[in-house]
Amino acid sequence: MKAGDITDRKYFDAPPAVLRITPFGIFVDQAGYYPRDTKKAVIPFECESFTVTDMIGNVRYSGKTVYAGADEASGDNVRIADFSELTEKGSYCVRAGGRTSAMFRIGDDIYDDVFMKTSKAFYYLRCGCGLDERHAGVWHHGKCHTAPAKLWEDRNVTLDVSGGWHDAGDYGRYVTAGACAVSHLLYAFRLFPEAFEKQKLNIPEEGLPDILSEVRCELEWFLKMQNGEGGVYHKATTALHAPFVMPEDDTAEMFVFPVSSMATADLAAVCALASGVYSAYDKTFSDRLLKAAEKSVEWLERNPQFIGFTNPEGCNTGGYGERDDLSNRFWAYSEMYALTGERKYHDRLVSALEKDFPLTALGYGEVGGVGALAYILCEREKDTALLDRLKKEFLSLAEELKKKADKCGYGIAMESSDYYWGSNMGLMTKAMIFAVTDVLYGDHSCREYACRHIHCLLGANALGISYVTGAGEFRCNYPHLRPAFADGIEECIPGMVAGGPNKYLSDPFAANVIPKGTPPMKCYADDTASYSLNEITIYWNSPTVFVLAYLCTYNRP
């Protein structure tokens, strides 16, 4: 992510929330566990035995802990309390050595609430409109960012680029970041439609599955960011990050920044993907998306060179620069072939694969994994060898991640080097790899590994904190998110996924409050001032929604 404008506490009236210490000494998934699944609590201290009690103190299970060893990323000597044999639905906590865990549930619907909240979070980030009390509750606010924007390189040109989602803790909107988030959500819908069938997000629109209504808000904004030649403007932001005010109070002039080949390729890809999804619901909208995708692909053909993006002088909002557009173009051609079946797109995606880029990457900077998914899942004629190659990329990575997870005291495929800015995206995209591998190969062992990563996100980590606002007994509540601070409401907007531990402490506040030598998994502070530890983004929420949709689908009775 990008740096914000916070360097000290002068921007804040509230006392620091940093270094809140969990009252729980035993770490569990605070949402809970499915009855048939493996259930383990992490105990970072010496003890031989444990009990699981219900909420009135009755012992419902007892057992011996197992020593898992010294865990490098957390700095903990870890013991594991396995209570998988307890399958009775109810609310419980784990007790050992005079300490206790947070409350958790065993049940068939344990992730329904957090799945809803992380999906609804996108609504709270809508731009260009107001959020009314009926749908936003106490977090309602007025219309924002509706004035025409100016082209950065030609201030005489104005454009309507209202709409979409605020990207992160700031009020900027970025095409490549948005395309990444939309791809996660649309593939979640394609692969796990059952999870979304009954999901009610309480948003204004009707007539579509709620998640498709929400995603359409972003897609409509994408269409506004395409110029007459098919090129796509990289971002729409103010010149500088806004102060910590409500969105309607951010009235600085909005600018549209130059076209990049990454943004153009990503728009082509995501519009092609969306065209296929929406064709069953709204043919007119589907056709608009197809035309936009074709127009941007034509631009790519006329502009084969890499056109990157760096912030011009006078702008400090997010850059989202990339070193090349190889994976972006591959993704675009893969989605166009999947949608149209035209052989020319197959030839181009094969040609794109002659260059070297990761074929399982699912983030905004590298999208080869999304392009691979497009080809694997398409219902067109496929090259058998290529199909096998792309599928094996996911299988090989899943097997590698399993080995890493089995060596980790917390059961996840995260090593010390993985705790960088936005580490929770890495945590969730690894879980996505397990989900995809299960779908492609029927490798049901992947479900446990995906669960472990969600367990970590929701509290089974070295700080015992749920990194999702509004989810869990001890949860983050003070993210680097302007409206969450400016609204003056103590309880944070629910469903926001925090960036998570970052061993590099990449902002002044983090560097000042986290002691040097702190183990990577513990380099976190729940404080608004720390943008490198506690910002939110749409593409940290989106892989979480994907994984929860997978688990809610496959872990039902």
Sheet holding 76-82, edge to edge: 40-43, 76-82, 66-71
Q: Burial of 218 by CB count in 10 Å (0-12 exposed, 13-18 middle, 19+ buried)? A: buried
Mean pLDDT, the chain, rounded, equals 95
> Over the stretch 468-481, which tens digit does the pLDDT of each residue have?
999 999 999 999 99
The full DSSP string for 253-275 is: PEEEPPB-HHHHHHHHHHHHHHH
Indicate the DSSP class of residue 233: B
**Tens digits of per-residue pLDDT, 116-133?**
999 999 999 999 999 999
CA distance 357 to 470: 38
Does the pLDDT value for residue 388 go beyond 80?
yes
Report the alpha-carbon distance of residue 442 to residue 47 in Å, rounded: 38
Which amino acid type is present at position 371? G
Q: What is the pTM (predicted TM-score) of this model?
A: 0.97
Q: Are strands 90-96 and 99-100 parallel, antiparallel or unpaired?
A: antiparallel
Q: Are 106 and 35 in contact, with CB atoms under 8 Å apart? A: yes
Confidence category of residue 22, pLDDT binned at 50, 70, 90: confident
pLDDT > 70: percent of the chain:
96
Residues paired with 61 in a beta bridge:
52
Q: Read off the pLDDT of each residue in 300-328 and give the average, rounded to a whole number.
A: 97
210 has catalytic annotation: no
Reported as a pLDDT band with limits 50, 70 and 90, residue 12 is very low
Catalytic one of 170, 250, 266, 507: 170
Q: Is the pLDDT of residue 227 over 70?
A: yes
Catalytic residue flag (residue 480): yes
CA distance 210 to 197: 9
Judge whether 8 counts as a catalytic residue. Answer: no
Between helix 423-441 and helix 538-554 the angle, nearest 10°, is: 30
CATH 1.10.1740.10 fits 112-382, yes or no: no
**pLDDT at site 1:** 31
Using alpha carbons, select from 254, 281, 248 the residue that is nearest to residue 487.
248
Q: Residue 101 — φ and ψ, nearest 5°? A: -100, 175
pLDDT per residue as tens digits for the range 237-246 = 999 999 999 9
Whose tokens are 């009252």? That residue is 23
Q: For residues 39, 526, 429 and 93, what is the CA-based torsion angle, rounded to 10 degrees? A: 10
Q: Which comes out higher in pLDDT, residue 20 or 13? A: 20
User: CA 316 to CA 152: how far, in whole Å?
Assistant: 13
| Residue 259, strand partner residues | 233
Measured CA to CA, the distance from residue 537 to residue 439 in angstroms comes to 27
Beta strands in 176-245 (DSSP E): 235-238
Share of the chain above pLDDT 90, in %: 95
State residue 21's pLDDT score. 80
Distance CA 149, CA 152 (A): 9
> What are the domain boundaries of the chain?
112-382
**Of 335, 480, 507, 527, catalytic:** 480
Q: Is 72 a catalytic residue?
A: no
From 76, 167, 526, 527, active-site residue:
526
Pairing state between β 32-33 and 104-106? parallel
Q: Which two tokens stand for residue 58?
A: 């009755």
> Both tokens of residue 487?
């609204």
Secondary structure element (H or E) that encloses residue 167, with its range: none
Length of the chain: 557
Pairing of strands 154-159, 173-174: unpaired
pLDDT: is 442 or 16 the higher one? 442
**pLDDT 10s digits, 59-108:** 999 999 999 999 999 999 999 999 999 999 999 999 999 999 999 999 99
Nearest Cα neighbor of 482 from 320, 236, 147, 249 is 249
Q: Are 93 and 102 in contact (CB under 8 A)?
A: yes
170-226 per-position pLDDT tens digit: 999 999 999 999 999 999 999 999 999 989 999 999 999 999 999 999 999 999 999
Is residue 217 within 8 A of residue 124, CB to CB? The reply is no
What is the pLDDT at residue 557?
58
Longest dimension (CA), the chain: 73
Given 37, 167, 266, 535, which residue is catalytic?
Answer: 535
Task: Using the structure block, give the residue that is written with the tokens 């197809």.
Answer: 290
Which residues in 347-358 are b (16+ Cβ under 10 Å) and which e? ebbeebbeeebb
Q: What pLDDT was estimated at residue 6? A: 42
